[in-house]
């Protein structure tokens, strides 16, 4: 039987659902593994098989698909974590463990619209940056989506065990480039490359770390008072204390309201490889990241977390075999309790949807889910009718607003290799577009037989051509176009834009008019020459 609203409220309070946003190589997989280690989900980091010295991590999965170049996978990792207090000095023995959901953002070569969509399923993001490299392009793109959606961001400066920038340089870079004010919770003791521990800015104490062999185990921590710290770490300690004072003078102390408003970002320094600072990240998530909250439906009415079951599908992963049998839809629960076997309603079609095969999905292992609560992510197999943005519900009807589409940066024309296949091609195109696999743009000049596909990552094109062939037996020809940038425009501006060199205007299926530009210099030139034209940046519609 379903739990009472009180039970649901309690389950919600202890949940945190977040994603890590980062540029490839910043250490997301290593951090994911370090978090799993701290939650005691795995007993040793690097337990899963080799990749360049250190072993590959649990979140590197579905290798077969990766090898075939078609991985579009997303991982949802759930673990329990019992808080021990930010400075490890005031554990609450009666505290229930927290339930942490880490939703993986596919990155690397398979960066795609799905990577962005994942961010619609989380309540907070951890922006993981490399201490030497600072903000990198993919991090910036993902950050803009967080900002647009009002998702609060915790900043993690990783690889502090290696030479890098100073804390103040990194803080300045973040403030200046993205207008987010970091409020470090700790200041590292020891410069980048000499990571000794953390100065806890709240308690004034020193958390001293010790290395373990190969960073495979949780790093032991010692909690020392200021006097002892000053005696053992000398100048490194004094520097950390002074940096902290400087930050306080500049008003860069944690402020929960400003954090939730997306203006400030609690900052932590870590070495995912040595497992330094990982516990502090978990503590920050538990202490500051928001618990799941109700969500407004299409009419603006809020479905509260204690209301009957509802969920939003944020990602659909199609099996590449033609039998469709393993199509997995990931839903984020918005309200109520989910019980496997429930028959829920698919809001978009009004049809019932049986949830007999609900799964928690992580790595290669899939385990059956029996119950789940708001904030949790559940995979549904056989989900042929479901598309990203769709709503499932039980009890009173609800439909959440669509996810919208994101700024594409890759463009290509697609057509059937043989004219005789045009009908199937058209049908397949509609199907794949409605599943959110790719955006489709059209204009009169190009006609319907060769629409323009628009994607966030080029991997989306490969998925389209592979599925065209496997599921619809249509061989296609893909031709990349020399555009790299899209802006939203309007009817009044489109004629003038069409006259410009290096620009083409299209209508997207949702009705939006998009102007494509060869590069940002072309765009800047046209903006300068024709300041009256409407050219708005795209992040997410809807």
Indicate the residue among 60 and 233 with the shorter CB distance to ligand GDP.
60
Which residue, among 398, 348, 408, 390, has the nearest Cα to 541 in the 3D structure? 408
The CA distance from 533 to 449, in Å, is 30
Interface segment toward ligand GDP; rule CB under 6 A; list 110-118, 154-162, 278-286, 329-337: 154-162
Interface segment toward ligand GDP; rule CB under 6 A; list 24-32, 65-73, 365-373, 408-416: 24-32
Kindly state whether residue 273 participates in binding ligand GDP, applying the rule CB under 6 A. Answer: yes
Question: 304 vs 15, 223, 374, 392, CA distance in Å?
Answer: 15, 41, 10, 15
- Cβ atoms 137, 121 nearer than 8 A: no
Kindly state whether residue 28 participates in binding ligand GDP, applying the rule CB under 6 A. Answer: yes
Cβ within 8 Å of residue 478, ≥6 positions away? 412, 413, 414, 453, 461, 464, 465
- Cβ atoms 269, 170 nearer than 8 A: no
Kindly state whether residue 162 participates in binding ligand GDP, applying the rule CB under 6 A. Answer: yes
The CA distance from 29 to 108, in Å, is 11
- Angle CA(255)–CA(17)–CA(129) in degrees, nearest 5? 65
Candidate list 19, 21, 22, 103; residue touching ligand GDP; CB under 6 A:
22
Other Cβ atoms within 10 Å of 320 Cβ, number: 16
Question: Which residue is nearest to ligand GDP, using beta carbons?
Answer: 27
Provide, rounded to whole angstroms, the least separation between the CB of residue 491 and ligand GDP: 43
Binding mask 93-112 for ligand GDP (x = CB under 6 A): --------------------
The CA distance from 148 to 264, in Å, is 15
Output DSSP code: residue 134: B
Indicate the residue among 159 and 201 with the shorter CB distance to ligand GDP.
159
Provide, rounded to whole angstroms, the least separation between the CB of residue 529 and ligand GDP: 41
Q: Alpha-carbon Rg of the chain, whole angstroms?
A: 24
Binding mask 363-382 for ligand GDP (x = CB under 6 A): --------------------
Residue 174: alpha-carbon gap to chain centroid: 19
Binding mask 288-317 for ligand GDP (x = CB under 6 A): ------------------------------
Which residue, among 11, 521, 40, 5, has the nearest Cα to 275 in the 3D structure? 40
Kindly state whether residue 29 participates in binding ligand GDP, applying the rule CB under 6 A. Answer: yes
- Cβ atoms 10, 287 nearer than 8 A: no
Cβ within 8 Å of residue 1, ≥6 positions away? none
**105 in a labelled binding site:** yes
**172 in a labelled binding site:** no
Kindly state whether residue 181 participates in binding ligand GDP, applying the rule CB under 6 A. Answer: no
Provide, rounded to whole angstroms, the least separation between the CB of residue 171 and ligand GDP: 19
Kindly state whether residue 158 participates in binding ligand GDP, applying the rule CB under 6 A. Answer: yes
Indicate the residue among 138 and 460 with the shorter CB distance to ligand GDP.
138
The CA distance from 199 to 146, in Å, is 29
**148 in a labelled binding site:** no
**214 in a labelled binding site:** no
Indicate the residue among 54 and 442 with the shorter CB distance to ligand GDP.
54
Indicate the residue among 24 and 401 with the shorter CB distance to ligand GDP.
24
The CA distance from 309 to 363, in Å, is 27
Candidate list 17, 30, 74, 88; residue touching ligand GDP; CB under 6 A:
30
Near ligand GDP in 37-76, by CB under 6 A: 54
Indicate the residue among 31 and 414 with the shorter CB distance to ligand GDP.
31
352 CB-contact burial (10 Å; exposed 0-12 / middle 13-18 / buried 19+)? exposed
Provide, rounded to whole angstroms, the least separation between the CB of residue 137 and ligand GDP: 14
Kindly state whether residue 26 participates in binding ligand GDP, applying the rule CB under 6 A. Answer: yes
**410 in a labelled binding site:** no
Number of residues that bind ligand GDP (CB under 6 A): 16
- Segment (H or E) for 358: strand 358-362
Q: Which residues bind ligand GDP (CB under 6 A)?
A: 22, 24-30, 54, 158-159, 161-162, 271-273
Annotated binding site for GTP: 104-108
């Amino acid at each position: 039987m379903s739990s009472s609203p009180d039970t649901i409220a309690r389950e919600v309070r202890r949940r945190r659902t977040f994603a890590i946003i980062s540029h490839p190589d910043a250490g997301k997989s290593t951090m994911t593994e370090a978090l799993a280690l701290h939650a005691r989900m795995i007993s040793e980091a690097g337990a899963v098989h080799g990749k360049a010295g250190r072993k590959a991590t649990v979140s590197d999965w579905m290798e077969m698909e990766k090898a075939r170049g078609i991985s579009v996978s997303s991982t949802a990792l759930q673990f329990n974590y019992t808080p021990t207090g930010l400075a490890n000095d005031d554990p609450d023995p009666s505290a229930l463990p927290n339930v942490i959901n880490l939703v993986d953002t596919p990155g690397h070569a398979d960066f795609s619209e799905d990577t962005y969509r994942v961010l619609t399923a989380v309540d907070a993001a951890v922006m993981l940056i490399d201490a030497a490299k600072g903000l990198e392009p993919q991090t910036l793109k993902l950050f803009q989506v967080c900002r647009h959606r009002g998702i609060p961001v915790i900043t993690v400066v990783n690889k502090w065990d290696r030479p890098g920038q100073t804390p103040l340089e990194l803080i300045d870079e973040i403030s200046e480039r993205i207008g987010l004010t970091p409020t470090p919770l700790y200041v590292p003791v020891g410069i980048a490359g000499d990571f000794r521990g953390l100065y806890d800015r709240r308690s004034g104490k020193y958390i001293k770390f010790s290395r373990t062999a190969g960073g495979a185990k949780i790093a032991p921590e010692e909690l020392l008072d200021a006097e002892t710290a000053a005696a053992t770490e000398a100048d490194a300690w004094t520097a950390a204390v002074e940096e902290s004072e400087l930050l306080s003078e500049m008003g860069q102390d944690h402020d929960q309201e400003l954090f939730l408003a997306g203006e400030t970002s609690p900052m932590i320094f870590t070495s995912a490889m040595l497992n330094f600072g990982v516990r502090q990240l978990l503590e920050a998530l538990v202490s500051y990241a928001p618990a799941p909250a109700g969500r407004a439906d299409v009419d603006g009415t809020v479905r509260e977390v204690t209301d009957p079951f509802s969920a939003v599908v944020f990602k659909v992963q199609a099996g590449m075999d033609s039998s469709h049998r393993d199509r997995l839809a990931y839903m984020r629960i918005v309200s109520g309790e989910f019980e496997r076997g429930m028959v829920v309603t698919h809001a978009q079609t009004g049809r019932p949807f049986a949830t007999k095969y609900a799964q928690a999905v992580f790595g290669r292992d899939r385990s059956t889910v029996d119950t789940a609560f708001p904030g949790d992510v559940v995979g549904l197999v056989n989900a042929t009718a479901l598309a990203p943005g769709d709503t499932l519900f039980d009890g009173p009807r609800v439909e959440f607003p669509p996810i919208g589409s994101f700024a594409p940066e890759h463009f290509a024309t697609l057509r059937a290799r043989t004219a005789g296949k045009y009908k199937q091609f058209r049908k397949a195109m509609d199907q794949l577009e409605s599943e959110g696999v790719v955006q489709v743009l059209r204009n009169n000049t190009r006609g319907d037989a060769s629409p323009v596909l628009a994607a966030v990552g080029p991997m989306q094109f490969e998925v389209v051509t592979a599925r065209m062939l496997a599921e619809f037996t249509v061989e296609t020809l893909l031709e990349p176009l020399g555009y790299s940038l899209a802006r939203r425009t309007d009817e009044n501006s489109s004629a003038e834009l069409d006259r410009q060199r290096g620009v083409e205007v299209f209508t997207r299926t949702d009705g939006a008019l998009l102007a494509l530009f060869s590069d940002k210099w072309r765009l800047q030139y046209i903006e300068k020459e024709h300041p009256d034209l409407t050219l708005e940046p795209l992040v997410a519609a809807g």
